[in-house]
Structure 1
Amino acid sequence: MDKLISVVTPVHGAALRFLPEACASLRAQRLPDGWSWEWCVQEDGSGVDAAAHLPTADLRIRVSTSRRGGPHVARTMAFARSTGVYVKNLDADDQLTPGTLARDITALEERTSVGWTTSRVVDLLADGSTVSFELGDPEPGLLPRGSAYGYWAEHRRPRIHPATLCVRRSLLALLGGWMALPASGDTGLLLGLDSLADGWFIGDVGLKYRKHDGQITTHPQHRAGPEWEARMSLIQERADALRAWTGSPSPPDHRG
């Protein structure tokens, strides 16, 4: 029987028009011998009708609906329906680049101590052009446990893009999926993973991250205000608790 990687995608109305392009990028993937993929598409609330935009005759694609809870709750519900040994995030408005899944699988298969992968990202603009992710990338290779936390503690944003995560199933189950926040739940997951296991940064571009007016990152409270403060506080509190349980060394405190 083939080994399976599960791709999970939350979808809501604002991103629905981009779903066929995400689908095309997934169906174009070429996996290592003996591997296959499943795509668990989770509608975030009723009335989305993602199936109308997908080739549902492809039995690898499975669409389901859950009560409206935001994208991170929908991702976790998609994870609950998945069966793969690895779980890969793909947002409905983004696109995988050729070879992305194969690179993720290879990195995790060859390095049993590594629990998760991320990769380079380019922003996909409305005119179809791309620009490099603004933060600058780490060197390809090992991301030692705790290194993502150190950068985030200083800058209050991750250096590596959590939209590119591919995770061992057991590790994702241990954390309960994505943090149930209105935004930044993927950052919370990243810091949780970083507290528990080494990661691996893939130097090839793995994702085209679409910029558009309907994404949650355009909300005025995404990067400032009381909601942002509460999200950041909880993300840090959970990461600190996980680090304390696992005995991770603490980086310098850059908050003062």
Structure 2
Amino acid sequence: MSSRTISVVTPVHPPHVRFLSEAYESLRAQTLPAGWDWEWLIQHDGDCDTALPFVDARVKFATSPAAGEACTRNMAVARSSGEFVRNLDADDQLMDGALERDVEVLLTHDKVGWVTSGARDLLPDGEVVSWAFDDPAEGLIEPGWTLDTFIENEWRLPVHPVTLCVRRDLLIAMGAWMGLARSADTGLLMALQTVSAGYFIATPSLLYRKHAAQVTAQNIHNDPVDKKLRYGMIIDRARALNDLWSRLTQPTTPR
């Protein structure tokens, strides 16, 4: 009997290749419900001449023309076969039980389309510290709450989008990761929360590595003009989806 699968997708570019071994070890340590297994879709952004030392049939490596993180992640999704898709950036690590908790929530709550969870920052000296912001209470996240909170708190996210696990069919329907050079994960999260309830798992699932080469550490990521443009697009898209979704789901009036 074949197992059911959760797909873990990882975009990688040269500065982050050195972290993949630690990401792999965190995957190997994962437990899953009976009858489940994981596959790891690593997608290198551009040509790669580095041989990866993973002798594991569940690890599926490919390259694609350099196109940025969002497009690279989407190419990994295109190769995936799982019912659920979990994000794992190349420089991060899953914490014990992360995938099992994701799967159990999505199996238990059939109206929940996506899951996020707590995270811990992994500092350059190896110290692990709490995320800088307060997490919501564990449980269901109603559609619209994530966007409203994001706007009310002046673009501060109430949940960590890099911890996202989502039903593959919903991910594809939403266009997968948003085609932005930065904040593509926020763009996807805001689209998902428009049409589907989510769930927050309080138990931390991810070690989020802080280092000088990460995307969020670059000056352009926090440039006020760039940020206003990309967050404006994310909010406009979510609002447009909400308006369209509301019209399409209203009962039609007979002529």
Q: Which category describes the TM-score, using the shorter chain as reference length?
A: over 0.9
- Any unmatched runs of 5+ in structure 1? 249-256
Superposition map of 1:95-106 within 5 A? 95-106=93-104
Superposition map of 1:126-165 within 5 A? 126-154=124-152, 155-165=154-164
Residue type matched to 1:132 in 2?
A: S
Superposition map of 1:218-233 within 5 A? 218-233=217-232
Is 1:190 the equivalent of 2:189? yes
Contact conserved, 1:38 with 1:60, CA < 8 A, in 2?
A: yes
- Any unmatched runs of 5+ in structure 2? 248-255
- Number of residue pairs matched by the alignment: 245
CA distance in structure 1 between the aligned counterparts of 2:103 and 2:82, rounded to whole angstroms: 11
CA distance in structure 2 between the aligned counterparts of 1:157 and 1:222, rounded to whole angstroms: 14
CA distance in structure 1 between the aligned counterparts of 2:49 and 2:162, rounded to whole angstroms: 22
1:226 to partner: Cα distance:
2.4
Residue type matched to 2:19 in 1?
A: F
CA distance in structure 1 between the aligned counterparts of 2:39 and 2:48, rounded to whole angstroms: 23
Residue type matched to 1:92 in 2?
A: A
1:54 to partner: Cα distance:
3.3
SS in 1 for 2:124: coil
| Deviation sequence 1:119-145 (CA, Å, 0-9, x none) | 001100111111111111000011111
Per the alignment, residue 30 of structure 1 pairs with 31
TM-score calculated relative to the size of structure 1: 0.93
Residue type matched to 2:174 in 1?
A: L
1:58 to partner: Cα distance:
0.5
Per the alignment, residue 233 of structure 2 pairs with 234
CA distance in structure 2 between the aligned counterparts of 1:54 and 1:115, rounded to whole angstroms: 34
SS in 1 for 2:156: coil
1:164 to partner: Cα distance:
0.3
Residue type matched to 2:53 in 1?
A: L
Tell me the C-alpha RMSD between the 2 structures: 1.2
CA distance in structure 2 between the aligned counterparts of 1:125 and 1:211, rounded to whole angstroms: 5
1:224 to partner: Cα distance:
2.5
Do the aligned partners of residues 131 and 186 (structure 1) sit closer, same or farther apart at CA in structure 2, a change above 3 Å counting? same
1:48 to partner: Cα distance:
5.5
| Deviation sequence 1:137-165 (CA, Å, 0-9, x none) | 00001111111101111221311000000
SS in 2 for 1:243: helix
CA distance in structure 2 between the aligned counterparts of 1:48 and 1:196, rounded to whole angstroms: 41
Do the aligned partners of residues 219 and 48 (structure 1) sit closer, same or farther apart at CA in structure 2, a change above 3 Å counting? farther
TM-score calculated relative to the size of structure 2: 0.94
Identity %: 46
1:11 to partner: Cα distance:
0.4
Residue type matched to 1:97 in 2?
A: M
CA distance in structure 2 between the aligned counterparts of 1:7 and 1:150, rounded to whole angstroms: 29
Larger radius of gyration: 2
Residue type matched to 2:224 in 1?
A: G
SS in 1 for 2:243: helix
Do the aligned partners of residues 48 and 94 (structure 1) sit closer, same or farther apart at CA in structure 2, a change above 3 Å counting? farther
